[in-house]
Amino acid sequence: MKHESPRILLADDEDTFRLSTAKLLEQEGYQCDCAQDSEEASRLLTNQHDVLLSDIRMPGNMQFEFLHDIRMRFPSLPIVLVTGYPSVQTAVEALRLSFTDYLLKPVDWGELLRAVNQAAGKSRILRMTDVARDEADRVGTALDHVREILSRPGTMANERDLAWSIEAFLSQSVGQMATLATGLRTVIANPLTRQTDVAADVCRVLDCPRRVAYREALEGTIEVLEKTKFAFRSKELGFLRRKIEDLLKTDGMGGAESTPREDGIGG
């Protein structure tokens, strides 16, 4: 069975958290829609979403009104809450409304990804059980129809053709149910399909100021080593310069091109 990438609605009025988290989740293979307040989130949320990742304290949800409404509209939707203002009241509400997780800002990325993975896994199981239930209902309805036909007078005049039709239908239906059962068993046994132990390079995604400062410091170090290479002839300094240059290249930061130099020349 083919499964599309899980779809997440991320609702948060904090631009940095919303945009950076969406980028990181997309790198993990998720489809992300973003909303900056509860009104936009309420408008965007559909049955096609597998997870709602939502802040608590944002416009339109100061009294949990948005989340109450969402729980009524989507009773089984997994919801992961994040908040920078934890309280006993919101924690109790989260339990009462059966939200999947309750995380505190600043959120550890590994913990957030774990929570989203688990929520998406739960959503996938629920969708598959819905499909299996619909298929079972279809089989039950068809069998009732067969029973009704067999009860009609004179039905057995075409007994051979009827028996073949019933056998073909049952074989197809049983095969479909077996496929659904196998898929459901696999999902329940392995609900998480994504790696959660791979550390994401948040600075690379956001090009944060700290990364820029590190790059400038390393480039400045190379420049100083270059200027002083004839004053301090040292293998250790030469090794240090090459190591920094390789680091800049590996990280995609750029930097000066390495040039061949004699052993023992510092910088």
The CATH number of whichever domain residue 72 belongs to comes to 3.40.50.2300
C-alpha torsion angle, residues 150, 154, 158, 159 (rounded to 10)? 50
Residue 9 pLDDT more than 90? yes
Bridge partners (DSSP) listed for residue 102: 81
**How many Cβ atoms sit within 10 Å of the Cβ of residue 123?**
21
Sheet holding 51-55, edge to edge: 31-35, 7-11, 51-55, 79-83, 101-104
Q: Are residues 143 and 113 in the same domain?
A: no
Let me know if residue 258 belongs to a domain. no
**Mean per-residue pLDDT of the chain:** 76
Structure tokens at 4: 């599309």
**What is the per-residue pLDDT across 141-177, written as a single tens digit (0 to 9) for each?**
777 776 776 676 665 555 655 565 666 666 666 666 6
DSSP code of residue 194: S
Does any domain span residue 267? no
Residue 166 falls inside a structural domain: yes
Instruction: Identify the residue whose tokens are 């020349």.
Output: 265
The predicted-structure confidence for 167-182, as pLDDT tens digits, reads as follows 666 666 666 666 666 6
Give pLDDT tens digits for 46-98.
999 999 999 988 887 777 888 889 999 999 999 999 988 878 887 888 787 87
Q: Kindly tell me the burial class for residue 174, based on how many C-beta atoms sit within 10 Å of its own C-beta (0-12, 13-18, 19 or more).
A: exposed
- In a domain? residue 260: no
Does any domain span residue 266?
A: no
Whether residue 135 is predicted with pLDDT greater than 80 in this model: the reply is no
Same structural domain, 132 and 166: yes
- Tell whether 166 and 231 lie within a shared domain: no
* 87 belongs to a structural domain: yes
Number of domain units in the chain: 3
Answer yes or no: do 11 and 115 share one domain. Answer: yes
pLDDT of residue 197: 41
Same domain, 19 and 88: yes
Q: What span, in angstroms and rounded, lies between the C-alpha atoms of 198 and 109? A: 10
Within a domain: 29? yes
> Pick the residue with more confidence: 262 or 103?
103
| Domain shared by 26 and 111, yes or no | yes
| pLDDT at site 256 | 43
Residue 176, domain extent: 120-189
Nearest to 66 by CA among 79, 76, 51, 84: 79
Examine residue 262 and state whether it is found in any structural domain, yes or no: no
Q: What is the rounded CA–CA span in Å between residue 104 and residue 83? A: 5
Do 103 and 52 sit in the same domain of this protein? yes
Whether 53 and 97 map to the same domain: the answer is: yes
Could you tell me if 142 and 235 lie in one domain? no
Domain boundary, last residue among 119, 142, 164: 119
For 184-222, the pLDDT digits (tens) are 666 666 655 444 444 445 555 444 555 666 677 777 777
pLDDT in the model for residue 133: 79
